[in-house]
Amino acid sequence: MSVDLTGMPANAPSGGDLPLPSIRLRRLRGSERIRRLVRETRIDPAMLVAPLFVCAGSGVREPIGSMPGVARLSPDLAAIEAETLAALGVGGLLLFGLPRGKDPMGSEASADDGVVQDAFSRIRSLQLPIVTIADTCLCEYTDHGHCGPLTRSGEVDNDAALERLAATAVSQARAGADIVAPSAMMDGQVAAIRAALDGAGFQGTPIMAYAAKHASAFYGPFREAAGSAPALGDRRAYQMDPTNGREAMREMALDVAEGADLLLVKPGLPGLDLIAAARQRFDLPIAAYQVSGEHAMIAAAAERGWIDRRNATLEAVGAMVRAGAGIVVTYAAGDIARWLADERS
């Protein structure tokens, strides 16, 4: 008997009893055991990266109001958190710094005794099975909140920023960062950082480029967490228009040509199409960032009982992996690792 794609027999009667399907997709959905066996997209803790906000001091843990479950940590507590995440099997850490002081050049970003450098040094001494990644940017360190020095007219000086970003990357690698991740969206930043790392003897340090970073409305909680809101203007003159997809692919291609080893799309859920396109076009590892606003929206809705936080978080991260991300940066990395362990037990 021939069967069409609906599973209905080709010679099924047109009247009387309704024909019954022979192909039943629900057969593979009938139990959790079967659903788990045939699951197409799987999340593993080793593919997750947990962002940490590192502040000055000792024994400091400051909860961040707009990001439930996330806190600013002093370097000593950041190292303890790294131990906890490594024990859970989380693959990486992404460190952001809140410096002791700020100036127009963001000088402390490249200081060998800076808060992030201190944290990297402490974490490296623990010899943990976890990858340490440095956010290489200046916005947390400048007194004006922009990602590079300003010209007299108040615009970000792209080429002056390259020098500062390169010096920062070298300092971070010297302190123990396994990977540097330039996020300033300055033209030529990957090439400048690659040349500086190679010249300083860090030829083996990979660069994860924030290649498609949009000027997103979903970054608000991060700016509270990192104290990095611009004092004047905004970042739309260097971060991408969120509606531009072809330009995002051009940004990625340029970063690959300049020597990027990994590509990151930010924010994650609004950029699912870009993740998929990048996976199809480039052979590099592709990362996605579930940014602060995405985290905060899920947490806030869950607190009100509107959604289930665990399932919503796993669904969102799973969508990024399904689109093609092999790495996901998420503030829920530790929680996800615990949830996955619960499922296995």
In this structure, what token pair is assigned to residue 182? 């330039």
188: left (phi over 0), alpha (psi -120 to 50) or beta: left
Burial of 259-288, coded b for 16+ CB within 10 Å and e otherwise, reads: bbbbbbbbbbbbbbebbbbbbeebebbbbb
C-alpha 39/C-alpha 66 separation (Å) is 34
In this structure, what token pair is assigned to residue 261? 């080893």
In this structure, what token pair is assigned to residue 297? 């929206």
89: left (phi over 0), alpha (psi -120 to 50) or beta: left
Residue 266 annotated among the catalytic residues of the structure: yes
> Whats the size of the chain, residue-wise?
345
Q: Out of 214, 266, 279, 309, pick the active-site residue.
A: 266
Q: Are 291 and 267 in contact (CB under 8 A)?
A: yes
Q: Are 291 and 223 in contact (CB under 8 A)?
A: no
User: C-alpha dihedral over 175, 177, 178, 182, to 10 degrees?
Assistant: -130
Q: Out of 102, 146, 213, 279, pick the active-site residue.
A: 213
In this structure, what token pair is assigned to residue 264? 């990151």
Q: Which residues are catalytic?
A: 213, 266
